[in-house]
Amino acid sequence: MLRVGLTGGIGAGKSTVSSTLSELGALVVDADRIAREVVQPGTPGLAAVVEAFGEGVLSPDGTLDRPALGSRVFGDDEARRVLNGVLHPLIGARTAELVAAAPADAVLLHDVPLLVENRMGAVFHLVVVVHTPEDERVDRLVSQRGMTEADARARIAAQASDDDRRAAADVWLDNSGAPDALRPLVEQLWQARLVPYERHVRERTWDRPRPVLVPADPTWPAQARRLASRLRLVLGEAALRVDHVGPTAVAGLDAEDVLDLQVTVRSPAAVDGLADALADGGFPRHGGTHDDPKAEHPDPAGRAERLHVHADPGRPANVHLRLDGSPGQRLALVLRDWLRDQPEVVAERTAAVRDTEVLPRAAAEQPWFDAASPRALAWAELTGWEPGPPGAS
């Protein structure tokens, strides 16, 4: 099962995306719809809303008077906090029931308007954000939905900023153009990413194109942060720390487009107990069997106690599980911090790797890393290096 979170500001085009994905085969779980279900007449949800806001939010027929409640909560942060506190746990519980009832091979598309506001990104294998600039959204809501401009703007003000949504987005879909422009993007997302990703998670396998060296990508740290938050959620206290390491963790360093994340664990027993949870979370074990052709490419540095990989075909990543205080665990952090501290070494390493035709990366970089490791360790000794606070960046 693959769980995809779909979000965007009010009127951005979530329903348009979710109806296309539903046609293609996704199973849609719509939070707005569940939010209506849990306040039907006779439900504990409706009773709790009335207790918090009074009988004035009921229509004469006993149903929730949505415009009346809307006018109380949009524009009043405290009232909205109270309503969210009552309804969000009920929405969460109903969502969990729908997830439990879904077939094992489903691509579940969770349409969640408040995914970013409620910091839910790590719950999903992938987060898709639909974006349309604010003024365009207001125009669409006023002209096509009959909303007043003031109501549209009040709701927008009650929601996350574009920057926060961008930080949460694994996939950013621009819906500022004509409706026809969005469909091919959604079809491509389905075919090239969601379908293989779901199969990878279910079969505990993975696939990736042979990586090539690319110019440093300034978004690598943000991408690594999203994967790290998923790893922390899956692993809980078993992960002492999760760090973005390797060449993509050093600003300005050209590298193969494969993120390296290091999970520091307490004991070898902990490592083995985590394999299933990691696979279900989208990080299957690397080449576990002899007939797996990918087993020919073991952990590049040979230092991983275990190597897992990201099953998302659109975001290659290696996850190195290493023991706390082991030489490999320490060296990964020292090398990263040394390179971050020494721009001239970054230039030296860039030149060394650029001039080589050797692939894969492991082979190209190994001589340089073998020579660099003692220098990095000497630097660590000299400066009294200690690992910084745990984190992905």
Ligand X SMILES: Nc1ncnc2c1ncn2[C@@H]1O[C@H](COP(=O)(O)OP(=O)(O)OP(=O)(O)O)[C@@H](O)[C@H]1O
* Annotation: binding site for ATP: 11-16
C-alpha to C-alpha distance for 308 and 259, rounded to whole angstroms: 12
193 binds ligand X (CB under 6 A): no
Q: In angstroms, how far is CA 136 from the centroid of its own chain?
A: 27
113 binds ligand COD (CB under 6 A): yes
Q: Residue written as tokens 């008077």?
A: 65
Residue 260 corresponds to which tokens in the numbers above? 């390296």
Our CB check for ligand COD shows the closer of 73 and 346 to be: 73
Binding at 140: pick from ligand COD, ligand X, none (beta carbon under 5-8 Å per type): ligand X
* Opening angle at CA 217, ends 216 and 223, nearest 5: 135
C-alpha to C-alpha distance for 78 and 299, rounded to whole angstroms: 51
Our CB check for ligand X shows the closer of 64 and 239 to be: 64
Among 2, 4, 6, 12, binds ligand X (CB under 6 A): 12
Our CB check for ligand X shows the closer of 138 and 304 to be: 138
> Is-contact 170 226, C-beta < 8 A?
yes
For residue 313, give the amino acid letter. Answer: P
Site string for ligand X, 139-178 (x = CB under 6 A): -x---xx-----------------------------x--x
- For the bound state, the minimum distance from the C-beta of residue 131 to ligand COD, rounded and expressed in Å, comes to 14
59 half-sphere exposure, CB direction, 13 A CA radius: 9
Range 164-198 burial, b when 16+ CB lie within 10 A, else e: ebeebbbbebebeeeeeebeebbeebbeebbbbbb
Residues in the chain: 393
Binding at 83: pick from ligand X, ligand COD, none (beta carbon under 5-8 Å per type): ligand COD
121 binds ligand X (CB under 6 A): no
> Is-contact 27 107, C-beta < 8 A?
yes
Q: Residue written as tokens 């026809």?
A: 180
C-alpha to C-alpha distance for 243 and 161, rounded to whole angstroms: 27
Binding at 115: pick from ligand COD, ligand X, none (beta carbon under 5-8 Å per type): none
Among 16, 19, 22, 159, binds ligand COD (CB under 6 A): 159
Binding at 114: pick from ligand COD, ligand X, none (beta carbon under 5-8 Å per type): ligand COD
> Is-contact 285 278, C-beta < 8 A?
yes
Binding at 15: pick from ligand X, ligand COD, none (beta carbon under 5-8 Å per type): ligand X
Residues in the interface with ligand X (CB under 6 A) total 17
Binding at 8: pick from ligand X, ligand COD, none (beta carbon under 5-8 Å per type): ligand X
User: In the chain, how long is the greatest CA-to-CA distance?
Assistant: 79
Our CB check for ligand X shows the closer of 83 and 304 to be: 83
**Window contacting ligand X (CB under 6 A); options: 11-19, 201-209, 315-323, 374-382:** 11-19
Q: What are the percentages of helix, strand and coil residues in the chain, rounded to 5?
A: 55, 15, 35
155 binds ligand COD (CB under 6 A): yes
Q: Looking only at residues 358 through 377 of this chain, which bind ligand COD when binding is defined by CB under 6 A?
A: none
Our CB check for ligand COD shows the closer of 65 and 299 to be: 65
Binding at 16: pick from ligand X, ligand COD, none (beta carbon under 5-8 Å per type): ligand X
Q: Measure the CA dihedral 73/79/80/85, to 10°.
A: -140
Q: Looking only at residues 78 through 107 of this chain, which bind ligand COD when binding is defined by CB under 6 A?
A: 80, 83-84, 87, 91
C-alpha to C-alpha distance for 160 and 152, rounded to whole angstroms: 14
- Footprint of ligand COD (CB under 6 A): 10, 31-32, 35, 66, 69-70, 73, 80, 83-84, 87, 91, 112-114, 155, 158-159
